[in-house]
Structure 1
Amino acid sequence: MTQRLNYAQQSPELFKKFMEFSMALKSSVIDEKLQALVEIRASQINGCGFCLDMHVKQAKIHGETELRLYHVAIWRESNLFIPRERAALAWTEALTKLPEGGIPDEIYERVRGQLSEKEISDLTFVVMAINAWNRVNVGFKTVPGTADKAYGLDKAGLN
């Protein structure tokens, strides 16, 4: 695969602002492990190889187990995820796919049963960000692994 264009070079101010937004999410009430699961699942749904590669490596660096990483795609059938993570993954899928007629009340109630309003709000911003990153990287065919050194992802040991 060949990258179509380098959006960071073409739109440096917008890239910088969006990076600042994304970095601000690291201090949200949603912990890094849950953020990684959400970013992985949205990237799987959107077919974003660059983001999937990046977030799997980040999750591994932050101590996520390989088996859980393999199971993100089948989280409904897996017994490796706690109810809080399941609710977050359901919310991620609903917001990523945006079903006709909106988000079903059942999904929102499941999330409300596991996360505070602040957590739901912060989680929604995490989902918004990863979906935006997925769209820019899919659109411009960003090659997976090309930012490993810049982001310290070579430390994941998954090359």
Structure 2
Amino acid sequence: MTQRLNYPQQAPELFKKFAQFSTQLADSSLGKTLHDLVQIRASQLNGCAFCLDMHSKEAKIHGERELRLYHLPVWRESPLFDARERAALAWTEALTRLDGHPVADALYEEARAQFDEKELTELTWVIATINAWNRLGVGFQALPGSADKVFGLDKANLS
């Protein structure tokens, strides 16, 4: 695969502002673990190799257990995720796989049982943001691992 174009270079101010917004979200009340899981799951669903690579490495650096990363595609069947993580992953899937139907009230209530209004809003921003990054990565075929040194992801010792 060859990267189609260097989108940060083509629109540097937009990239910088969007990256700053993403960084601000990473420091939300959700915590790094939940933030990482949501970004990885959305990237899996969207087939974004660059983002999946990046956020898996970030999760490892943040202390995430590898087995949980392996179980993420089958989180519903796995005993490794708690109720809050399950609600976040279900919300992530619903908002990533928009199919022209409204999000079910039962799913919203499940999320609200685990997150207060501020947290659910922050979670939704994280989901919206990673979906936008995924579209950039998929559309322009961003190369997995190409930004490891810039972002310090080589510290994950994954290659």
Does the TM-score normalized on the shorter chain lie above 0.5? yes
Deviates more, 1:49-58 or 1:90-99: 90-99
Paired position in structure 1 for 2:139: 139
Distance in 2, Cα, partners of 1:99 & 1:134: 17
Partner of 1:80: 80
Q: Which residue of 2 aligns with 1:120?
A: 120
Paired amino acid for 1:54: M
Query: Can you give the 5+ residue segments of structure 1 that lack an aligned partner in the other structure?
Result: none
The match for 2:156 is: 156
Q: Secondary structure at the match of 1:28?
A: coil
Supply the RMSD in Å over aligned alpha carbons: 0.6
What CA deviation, in whole Å up to 9, does each residue of 1:44-71 have, x standing for no partner? Answer: 0000000000000000000000000001
- Residue in 2 aligned with 1:8? 8
Structure 1 position 100, deviation (Å): 2.5
Partner of 1:48: 48
CA distance, structure 2, for counterparts of residue 104 and residue 4 of structure 1:
38
Residue 96 of structure 1 and its aligned partner are, at CA, apart by 0.4
| Partner SS, residue 114 of structure 2 | coil
Gaps of 5+ in 2: none
Number of equivalences = 159
Is the counterpart of residue 30 in structure 1 residue 34 in structure 2?
Answer: no
Runs of 4+ in structure 1 deviating by more than 3 angstroms, as ranges, are none
String of CA shifts for 1:107-126, please: whole Å, max 9, x gaps.
Answer: 10100111111110000000
2:104 is equivalent to residue 104 of structure 1 = yes
Q: How much does 1:29 deviate?
A: 0.9
In the other structure, the counterpart of 1:21 is 21
